Structure 1
Amino acid sequence: MTNRFSDCTSLLKDHKVLEILSEFSPEFVGSIPIGVDLPHSDIDIICELRPSILKVLESFSSYPNFQISEKVLGNVSSIICRFRLGSEKVEIVAQNLLPREQISYLHMVIEEKILKEKGETFRLSVLEKKKEGKTTETAFAELLGLEGDPYSTLLEYGDM
């Protein structure tokens, strides 16, 4: 494994990203923390949506490729902020849920548990599927033989 998680954590710390977002309970989630990231994978941060978040997200407007949008993700209204920190792409998603109740956090916890159970060969298989263009959830679902929507079946698998 690389030190990408460590490098990204340092980058976030150097730019005080999590500190700036602290009132919104930010969590660094996604493929990087669990070691199934590709070089182009975003730094994914989730946080709680509150009225003051837009003003706080605007504080990142001086970074390259800055943009804010609204989107429905998994039936949940979300504010998405994107920008670059050096060579890394950052995506912040704010939802009206506590971060540890958000689907991206739940997926990461389930995927991390599966990786611990299945080992390095499985992790490398996930990476191969992702290199083919699959999402992390789709890669896990296919390798586990789960049918249907990979986002919901992965949650169901995690509840077993």
Structure 2
Amino acid sequence: MTDWRNVDYLRHGTAVQREVFNLLTELDIMSLLTDYNPLLVGTVPLGIQVKGSDLDIICEVHDPVEFQARGSRYFGAMDGFVSVSRVVQGIPRTKINFMVKGWPIELFGQPRRTELQNGYLHMVIEAEILALMDEDFRQRIITMKSNGQKTEPAFAQALGLEGDPYEALLELEKLPRSALYALCRSGHTYITANVTVNSDC
């Protein structure tokens, strides 16, 4: 199982993943953000990035003002630096965006452990699904993303998930792994408490 907290796994990955590892190492970004328990999530860890994909680093942030100040101190001189904090459904969320060597980077902070944030939970279940499925499935996801679809809706469409794709993937993450395996290996409909999965895996 991949240790997502340690980006060393990128060192042994694809050419793009190795490039990202070198970039993160050069920036020392994970060390600079260590107080926020940073995790790289999204498409690059999964190897399904497309042109324009960014590097998403989620952080556990309880003081948005201090987080923005630190972001400005470390990365404010980077191209396209923008820092925004707002409250969504009563939860403060902070986004810091900038560009380095052609890579858009987004730091996302909210007052929740990074392992419990949706960005991480989505990535974990997507990784498991990709491991269960064949290369054709992976390429289908990449093609849909190349055509402008977001990652979670692409997975939901490819798996035949109904309802909100972000919530549907979270429901899959809750399944026992034996049930997830059976779902992706069968042609039957699997019903959870909140989502119906019409799997044609």
Tell me, yes or no, if structure 1 residue 25 matches structure 2 residue 37.
yes
Q: TM-score, normalised by structure 1?
A: 0.94
C-alpha RMSD of the superposition = 1.6
Number of paired residues? Answer: 160
The equivalent position to 2:114 in structure 1, one of 99, 114, 126, is: 99
Q: Is 2:37–2:59's contact at 8 Å kept on the other side of the alignment? A: yes
Counterpart contact for 1:20–1:56, Cα < 8 Å: no
2:70 aligns with 56
Question: What's the TM-score once normalised by structure 2's chain length?
Answer: 0.75
CA contact (8 A) 1:45 1:92 kept: yes
Cross-structure match for 2:197: none
Structure-1 separation of matches of 2:87 and 2:57: 17
Change (3 A) 1:72 1:156: farther
Percent of paired sites with the same residue: 33
Q: Distance in 1 between matches of 2:115 and 2:20?
A: 20
Q: How far does the alpha carbon of each residue in 1:16-73 deviate from its partner, in whole angstroms, 9 at most, with x for none? A: 1111111111001101100111021001100111323122111210000000012456
Partner residue in 2 for 1:16: 28
Q: Which structure has more RCO (C-alpha within 8 Å, separation ≥ 6)?
A: 1
The 5 A counterparts of 1:148-159 are: 148-159=163-174
The Cα of 1:131 is off from its aligned counterpart by: 1.4
Shift of 1:15: 1.1
Deviation at 1:140, TM superposition (A): 0.2
Cα offsets for 1:134-157 (capped at 9, x unmatched): 100000000000011100011112
**Structure 2 spans left out of the alignment, 5+ residues:** 1-12, 176-201
Larger radius of gyration: 2
Q: Give the direction of change, closer, same or farther, for the CA distance of 1:41–1:73 in structure 2 (3 Å limit).
A: farther
- Give the corresponding residue for 2:143: 128
Unaligned runs of 5+ in 1: none
